[in-house]
């Protein structure tokens, strides 16, 4: 059973760093933790959420711990960004002094406000020649973000993540905010918190990064994330070092989950494995009841199956969101299989010849057997490392694969004024074009009293006793129609074409 959580003590703040894609969030964290992650990111975009601990002296010269969450700025990762704010205690909204407020700045700001957590604005890139701090403050105010001494109460720091100028002030602001908010936790309680990241390591198995929001985690306990379970045999801190125990606000990595935990899901820990199993059983029972009325599909649309394999679960979630945005009236993508790790032979085996599925690998490769089998079965595996390139390609695939719908478009209307001679299946008539135009060789509908009674073909067309290939609106003409139906004065002829859309 869970321990009583009644011995509250001061808890270090968990801070989410948010903002526009290139306003310097990663550079800021790089400077703070004296390491570099930017060079390893495809296209210069941070695409994985991570957590780091730093020590900084407060205003009383006392060492204090701060945990930072790095939430990706790319629009595709908005869910992860929202989650970052929810599991954080304080948010840092990074704004470039060069570029000012951007749409993603506003999106991040709204996420912070909706999460109801305190935040600090970091005006970054003050070292740049084009930096204009006062203009940036005005720009923030224009977007209803009012800084201290600038019409509001939002604390701010002017910083250069590149040179480090102002970063001590920012860290001090974080500690002052944390002191005012009085974040607390209970070390005697069993640890609980959230999953930040999860992935399948080929050598180690399934591992996940967790942030502890309350309580303590020790070796010998069992951690549960929804229906995924893991013993705490291997606990690592954010530096990858093995530890025996961790407390609230700490980011840790657990190795040995029996299935990949859902990103952003809450975790709980138990002293006994039997308690964990009972918790999973109860949770699964409740989930099954909720899912009875979900997953209805529009049967009128063509289903295009997709298999997705990514390096980490956070990328998987972002890709699912992007795929859901690609829509068509006549087709839709359906993810039939997803997971982390390389594209494997079993992934390809799961595709039937009738499915014509798309296989996407994001930041992963395919193993040798998978490549050979895909070639034998004529299955295309497409690899990407930038999300927008993947969505562009999938949009083109949707257009190429969607079913074409045949529609009839009326090109011209004719009112028959007089019927002349008729042979077996040909008849000469005179009429006037009332709408559009008619052309030689076109098929026409024969309409009498608003009902279609048959079809015919224009085999000859004359205007003023001169043969022509086309007659415009408002012009009288004579024509020979090939049809089994006898045409009479007053009938309407409609020329049409069949178009695929």
> Taking a C-beta distance cutoff of 8 angstroms, is the pair 68, 389 a contact?
no
β-strand 119-124 against 90-96: which pairing, if any?
parallel
Q: How high is the pLDDT of residue 2? A: 44
Per-residue burial over 37-63, b = 16 or more CB atoms within 10 Å of its CB, e = otherwise: beeeeeeebbbbbbbbbbebeeeeeee
Rounded to 5°, the CA angle 78-80-83 comes to: 110
Per residue in 1-28, pLDDT (tens digit) is 444 445 788 999 999 888 877 777 778 8
**Alpha helical stretches, state H, 88-217:** 103-115, 133-142, 167-181
What's the maximum distance between 2 C-alpha atoms anywhere in the chain? 110
Which of 255, 233, 253, 259 minimizes the C-alpha distance to 244?
Answer: 233
Q: How long is the chain?
A: 501
Q: Region 235-253: what's the mean pLDDT?
A: 90
Q: How high is the pLDDT of residue 36? A: 37
Per residue in 193-239, pLDDT (tens digit) is 998 888 888 888 889 999 999 999 999 999 999 889 999 999 998 88
- Report residue 146's pLDDT band, with 50, 70 and 90 as the boundaries: very high
Q: Find the helix or strand (DSSP H, E) in which 83 lies.
A: helix 78-87
Q: How high is the pLDDT of residue 221? A: 96
Q: Region 373-402: what's the mean pLDDT?
A: 90
In angstroms, what CA-CA distances link 133 with 18, 125, 145, 186?
19, 9, 14, 42
Q: What Rg value do the Cα atoms of the chain yield, rounded?
A: 33
Identify the burial level of 405 via C-beta atoms within 10 angstroms of its C-beta, where 0-12 means exposed, 13-18 middle and 19 or more buried. exposed
297 three-class SS: coil
Q: Region 410-435: what's the mean pLDDT?
A: 93
For residues 426, 432, 436, 442, the Cα torsion angle rounded to the nearest 10 degrees is 10
Percent pLDDT > 70 in the chain is 89
CA atoms within 13 A on the CB side of 258: 13
Which residue in the block uniquely carries the two structure tokens 């595996």?
381
Which residue in the block uniquely carries the two structure tokens 């994001």?
362
Q: How high is the pLDDT of residue 32? A: 81
Q: Tell me which CATH homologous superfamily contains domain 302-401.
A: Translation initiation factor IF- 2, domain 3 (3.40.50.10050)
Which of 304, 280, 213 minimizes the C-alpha distance to 251?
Answer: 213
- Name the residue ranges covered by the structural domains of the chain: 8-184, 192-287, 302-401, 406-500
Per residue in 87-107, pLDDT (tens digit) is 889 999 999 999 899 888 888
Q: How high is the pLDDT of residue 27? A: 83
Q: How high is the pLDDT of residue 231? A: 93
Rounded CA-CA distance 237/246 in Å is 8
pTM score of the predicted model: 0.62
Select the more confidently predicted residue: 263 or 422: 422
Other C-beta atoms lying within 10 Å of the C-beta of residue 439 = 15
What is the DSSP code string of 60-71?
A: TS-EEEEEEEE-
DSSP state of 404: P
| Residue 105 CA, distance from chain mean position | 18
Other C-beta atoms lying within 10 Å of the C-beta of residue 413 = 22
Identify the burial level of 328 via C-beta atoms within 10 angstroms of its C-beta, where 0-12 means exposed, 13-18 middle and 19 or more buried. middle
302-401 has the same fold as 192-287: no
Q: Domain 192-287's class?
A: mainly beta
List phi, psi (to 5°) of 444: -130, 150
CATH architecture of 406-500: Beta Barrel (2.40)
Per residue in 24-42, pLDDT (tens digit) is 777 888 788 764 334 444 4
Which residue in the block uniquely carries the two structure tokens 């048959």?
454
8-184 classified as CATH 3.10.20.30: no
- Report residue 135's pLDDT band, with 50, 70 and 90 as the boundaries: very high
Q: Region 182-189: what's the mean pLDDT?
A: 91
Rounded CA-CA distance 118/113 in Å is 8
Which of 208, 215, 311, 263 minimizes the C-alpha distance to 84?
Answer: 263
> Taking a C-beta distance cutoff of 8 angstroms, is the pair 128, 93 a contact?
no
Give me the sign of the Cα torsion angle 142, 146, 148, 152.
Answer: positive
Rounded CA-CA distance 386/42 in Å is 7
């Amino acid at each position: 059973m869970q321990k009583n959580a009644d011995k509250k003590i001061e808890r270090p703040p968990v801070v989410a760093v948010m903002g526009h894609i290139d306003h310097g969030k990663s550079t800021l964290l790089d400077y703070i933790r004296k390491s570099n992650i930017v060079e390893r990111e495809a296209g210069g975009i941070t695409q994985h959420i991570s957590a780091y601990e730093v020590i900084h002296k407060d205003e009383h010269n006392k060492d204090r711990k701060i945990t930072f969450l790095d939430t990706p700025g790319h629009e595709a990762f908005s869910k992860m960004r929202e989650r970052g704010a929810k599991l954080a205690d304080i948010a840092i909204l990074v704004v470039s002094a060069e570029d000012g407020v951007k749409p993603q700045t506003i999106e991040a700001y709204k996420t912070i406000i909706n999460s109801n957590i305190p935040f600090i604005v970091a005006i970054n890139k003050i070292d740049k020649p084009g930096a204009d701090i006062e203009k940036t403050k005005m720009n923030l105010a224009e977007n209803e973000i009012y800084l201290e001494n600038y019409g509001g109460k939002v604390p701010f720091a002017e910083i250069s993540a590149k040179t480090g100028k102002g970063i001590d002030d920012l860290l001090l602001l974080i500690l002052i905010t944390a002191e005012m908010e009085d974040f607390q936790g209970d070390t005697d309680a069993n640890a609980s918190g959230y999953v930040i990241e999860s992935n399948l390591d080929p050598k180690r198995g399934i591992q996940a990064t967790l942030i502890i929001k309350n309580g303590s985690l020790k070796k010998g306990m069992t951690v549960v994330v929804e229906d995924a379970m893991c013993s705490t045999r291997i606990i690592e801190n954010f530096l990858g070092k093995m530890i025996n125990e961790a407390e609230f606000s700490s980011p840790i990595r657990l190795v040995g989950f029996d299935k990949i935990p859902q990103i952003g899901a809450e975790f709980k820990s138990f002293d006994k494995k039997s308690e964990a199993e009972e918790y999973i059983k109860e949770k699964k029972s409740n989930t099954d009841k909720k899912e009875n009325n979900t997953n209805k599909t529009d049967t009128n649309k063509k289903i295009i199956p997709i298999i997705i394999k990514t390096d980490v679960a956070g990328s998987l979630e972002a890709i699912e969101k992007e795929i859901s945005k690609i829509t068509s009236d006549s087709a839709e993508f359906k993810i039939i299989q997803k997971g982390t790790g390389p594209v494997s032979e079993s992934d390809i085996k799961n595709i039937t010849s009738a499915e014509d599925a798309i296989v996407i690998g994001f930041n992963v490769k395919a193993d040798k057997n998978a490549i050979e089998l895909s070639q034998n079965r004529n299955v295309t595996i497409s690899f990407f490392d930038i999300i927008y390139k993947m969505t562009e390609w999938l949009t083109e695939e949707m257009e190429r694969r969607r079913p074409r719908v045949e529609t009839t478009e009326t090109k011209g209307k004719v009112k028959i004024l007089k019927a002349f001679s008729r042979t077996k299946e040909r008849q000469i008539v005179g009429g006037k074009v009332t709408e559009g135009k008619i052309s030689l060789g076109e098929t026409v509908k024969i309409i009498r009293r608003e009902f279609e009674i048959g079809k015919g073909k224009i085999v000859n067309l004359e205007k003023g006793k001169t043969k022509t290939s086309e007659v415009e609106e408002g012009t009288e003409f004579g024509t020979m129609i090939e049809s089994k139906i006898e045409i009479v004065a007053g009938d309407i002829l409609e020329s049409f074409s069949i178009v695929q859309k």
